[in-house]
Amino acid sequence: MVVLALLGLSLATGQYSILSHADGWEMFRNVRVPRTLALVLAGAAMSMSGLVMQLITQNRFVEPTTTGTTEWAGLGLLAVMVVFPRASVLGRMAGAVTAAFLGTMVFFLLLRRVSLRSSLLVPIIGMMLGAVVSAVSTFVALQTDMLQSLGVWFQGSFTSVYRGQYEVLWIVVAVVAAIFYYADHLTAVGLGEDVATNIGVDYRRTVLIGTGLVAVATGTVTVVVGSLPFLGLIVPNLVSMRRGDDLRSNLPWVCLVGIALVTACDLLARTIIAPFEIPVAVVLGLVGAAVFIALIIRQTRRG
């Protein structure tokens, strides 16, 4: 009910009065509905991507924005725009997904070479890798006069979502369905390579599938919306704290809480300085940073 109420508010919120203008219905159909659908798809996809990353790495502080996956997706998107300036949305998405997958595998290779695998060291390595990739993207953007475009992509905003520009996001429905299908295998991977192998799960194959699903979700959301920081970190942790670690039963709740959180943050972003709007990534970043610090303190106290 809370999620439905938030989505209803999203459909009703906007500076353009759809009731007092003759083209109100067109505005509602072409802008409000696509934006709300994008909130649902992006919120569910990034929340579940964070959950998958946490299982693969066996670390609760990991998600696409703390492993550098989002930055790799942005670099891939930028590379496509430089080499193929007239590339379609699908072409850009292909570049972003490919770079996100390769970058995530680089992150895993780095982890395999680190002997000390503390819960805090893993996201620190990911954020450092992401910072390096982001610096490379900025340098390339400066050299090719695309710095403004790069900034827009990483703002993380739903302002550019309208009919004809968001439909590629429906791809993440397949990603969500695949995560539901592989839930048991991913749970086994989360118990470690030895346990997964002993119960008959192909560990490496499942890790590759999980990484591919995360790359597709992250690349697609990055192309359409941009970066949504900490969403994949906050939601799985909040759901686990409330319901335990039963992955299959938690998946629907992860979807719903992810949709609710990103919709609530988007409503704040749209109304806090109305009639202007701030990027939803700013609100998510503030909320996510506070929860991230709270989780670290909680983990430290537990030892």
Backbone phi, psi, residue 131, to 5°? -65, -40
Note the pTM of the prediction, 2 decimals.
Answer: 0.83
| Cis geometry, peptide bond prior to residue 275 (ω within 30 degrees of 0) | yes
CA–CA gap between residue 109 and residue 296 (Å, rounded) = 25
Amino acid letter, 296 = I
CA 215 – CA 52 distance, rounded (Å): 11
Helix or strand run (H / E) with residue 84: none
pLDDT value at residue 145: 81
Q: How far apart are CA 213 and CA 166, in angstroms?
A: 19
Query: What stretches in the chain show pLDDT beneath 50?
Result: none
Q: Are 93 and 220 in contact (CB under 8 A)?
A: yes
Position 247, amino acid: L
Specify the pLDDT at position 184: 82
Render the burial of 188-219: b for 16+ CB within 10 Å, e for the rest.
Answer: bbbeeeeebeeeebebeebbebbbbbbbbbbb
CA atoms within 13 A on the CB side of 129: 26
Say what the pLDDT of residue 117 is: 59
Q: How far apart are CA 54 and CA 233, in angstroms?
A: 8
> Does residue 232 sit in helix, strand or coil?
helix
Write the DSSP assignment of 157-201 as a string of letters.
-STT--TTTSGGGGHHHHHHHHHHHTHHHHHHHHT-HHHHHHTT-
The answer for residues whose C-beta is within 8 angstroms of residue 95's C-beta and 6 or more apart is 76, 77, 79, 80, 87, 219
With tokens 């340098």, the residue in question is 139
Q: What is the pLDDT of residue 165?
A: 75
